[in-house]
Amino acid sequence: MLNKIFFLVFLSFSTIIFSQEYKLTIYPDSGKYQISKHIYGHFSEHLGRLIYGGIWVGENNSIPNKNGIRTDIVEALKKIKIPNLRWPGGCFADEYHWKDGIGPRNERPKTINTNWGGVIEDNSFGTHEFMDLCDQLGCEPVICGNIGSGTVEEMSDWVDYLTADNEGPMSKLRKKNGREKPWKVKFWGMGNETWGCGGIMTSDFYADEMARYSRFLRNNNDNVLYKIASGGLEADYNWTETIMKKWSSTGGWLQGYLSGYSLHYYTVPHDWTNKGSATDFNEQDWFTTIFKTLRMDTLVTNHSAIMDKYDPQKRIGLIVDEWGDWHEVEPGTNPGFLYQQNTLRDAMVAAINLNIFNKHCSRVKMANIAQIVNVLQALILTDKEKMILTPTYHVFDLYKVHQDAIFLPFKLESEDYELDGKKIPSLHATASKDSTGLIHISIVNVNPEKSLKVSCGIEGVTSKQISGKILTSENMQDHNTFEQPDNVKIKEFKQFKIEDDKILIDMPSKSIITLEIKD
C-alpha cells in the first residue's frame, strides 16, 4: 500500500515537473524599430574554394552557369532573399589591388594569396564579375577597400570606377571594359581588422587614416556612400571609444565621413590552438559552443553603450560583418582553406546570433555571416557539380520573414540548461510584424535532451490562423552530406494548439521553430 501511495505521489510530482509551461509574452504595440534586412547579409572572401570552385566556375564549365557564375548557388541564395554580399575580404581585402581584376581575363596578372594557403590568384573573378553576381542575386554589394597595403587614390579610384558617370578617367576605363552605365554601390568598408592583418594599427592611427580615406571617397550623382570603419578586437572598447570620439569631435556626422562601425566575433568552441571538430563532438562541446555564442549579446550591448554616449540619435550603425562558428578544417583538406562541415549545432549558433541582432536592431544595421560557400560556417557546400544546403542555410530560410519587419518586444521565461556547474537559458526567441500585418515568432530550444512547453501570448491579438516550420534532427551531430543531402532540413511544425487566446507549443529538444500568425 505504501509503495502504491509513493508511486502515485511520484507520478503526480513528475507530471507537474514535466508539464511545466514557460511563458512567452509579445507586445506588438511596443514595436518601433525595424529589423534591417541587411542583418541577414553574407560574406564572400577569396579564400579556399569559396570563389573558385564555389561561386565561380567559368563560362565554359559543364556545371550550369550564367556568365561563369553557378546557377544553382544563385537560385539557392535568392530563395533566402540574400540582401547583401561582402567582398573581397577579410584579410584578403587589404592585399587586394582592384585593377588586377579588371579588363580581359587573359591579360590579368597572377598574384599570390599570401593570407590563405599561398595559392595562385589569377584574378579571373574581379569587380565586373562580382557586380554581375550581385545583379544575378538581386542583392547589394558591400565592398571592403584596401587600407593596409593600398592608397587613398586607389580606393577613391575604385569608387569612381564603379559609380561615376562623367568624363573622368575611371568612368572612361569602366566603359572601355564593357560597362557603359555606372553601378549603385552604397556600402564601403574602410579596411578590415586594421588592428591585425589589415595593418597592425593602433586605434589613434587608424582613426586618422579612416578620416583621411573617407575625405576622398566621394559621392557620385545620387550614389551616397555608407562608409564603415574597421573595429578593434571583439572586446577592445577603447578602439570603439577612439573612433566614436573622433567622429563626434570633428563633426563627422555633418561631413558624412562615417556611417557604420564594424564588429567581428567568432564562436570558437575550444580555443584558437584547438578549435575542435565540426562533427565529432559531445554534449560538453555543444554546451560550450552555445555558451560562447551568447557572448555576442554582451559585446553588442557594450559597444552600443559607447556608441550611444557619442551618438544618442543612433546615426552610426553597428555592423557585425564577420560572425559565426570556427571549427578545425575537415580532415585531409588544406588548412588554409578553412573548409568545415556544418551540423545542427551550427544552426543553433546562427539562430541565436540572428535573435541577438534583431533584439539590437536599433543599433545593429548590418551583419555578415562568415562565409557563404565552402568556408567556415557556410550556407552551401560544393563538390564539383554537387551542391548541398547546410543546416545554417535552413536557419536563414526560416528567418527570412524577419527581414525589414518591425521588431516586437517580448518577455520570455525559460528554465536553465545546466552542465558542469554552468547555466544558460534553454530558450531563445525573436518576434516581428511585417508590412502585411503577419506576426512571426522564432523560438530556439538549445537543450539537446529535453522538450519544453511554451505558452505564447500576443497582447491584443487573437490568433486565428497559425502555421509553423521546424528545423531539428535526431542527433546533435547530424549534418547534410553529398550522399545524404536532406538529413537536416525544414519540416512542417504542428505541435501547437490555441487555448484561451494562447498558443501552447511543444518545443522538441534541440529545435528551431518559426510560427506565422494571422489575426
What are the start-end ranges of the H helices in 83-233? Answer: 127-137, 152-163, 169-176, 203-215
Across 419-442, average pLDDT: 96
Q: What is the pLDDT of residue 20?
A: 80
Band of residue 21 on the pLDDT scale cut at 50, 70, 90: confident
Domains of the chain, CATH where assigned = 20-31+409-518 (2.60.40.1180), 37-404 (3.20.20.80)
Question: Does pLDDT of 322 surpass 50?
Answer: yes
Residues 6+ apart with CB under 8 A from 440: 401, 402, 405, 431, 432, 433, 434, 514, 515, 516, 517
Q: What is the pLDDT of residue 508?
A: 96
Q: Is 21 a catalytic residue?
A: no
- Lowest mean pLDDT across 9-23, 108-122, 310-324: 9-23
Cα(504)–Cα(73) distance, integer angstroms = 38
Neighbouring C-beta atoms of residue 128, cutoff 10 Å? 19
Across 186-190, average pLDDT: 97
Q: Which of 193, 234, 459, 483 is catalytic?
A: 193
- 175 φ, ψ (degrees, to nearest 5): -65, -40
Cα(248)–Cα(253) distance, integer angstroms = 7
What CA–CA distances, in Å, run from 39 to 176, 321, 402? 36, 9, 10
**pLDDT tens digits, 324-365:** 999 999 999 999 999 999 999 999 999 999 999 999 999 999
Band of residue 14 on the pLDDT scale cut at 50, 70, 90: very low
**pLDDT tens digits, 377-397:** 999 999 999 999 999 999 999
Across 187-207, average pLDDT: 96
Q: Which of 322, 415, 449, 474 is catalytic?
A: 322
Band of residue 303 on the pLDDT scale cut at 50, 70, 90: very high
Q: Is 328 a catalytic residue?
A: no
* CA-wise closest residue to 261 among 307, 289, 228, 306: 228
Q: What is the pLDDT of residue 2?
A: 45
**pLDDT tens digits, 22-76:** 999 999 999 999 999 999 999 999 999 999 999 999 999 999 999 999 999 999 9
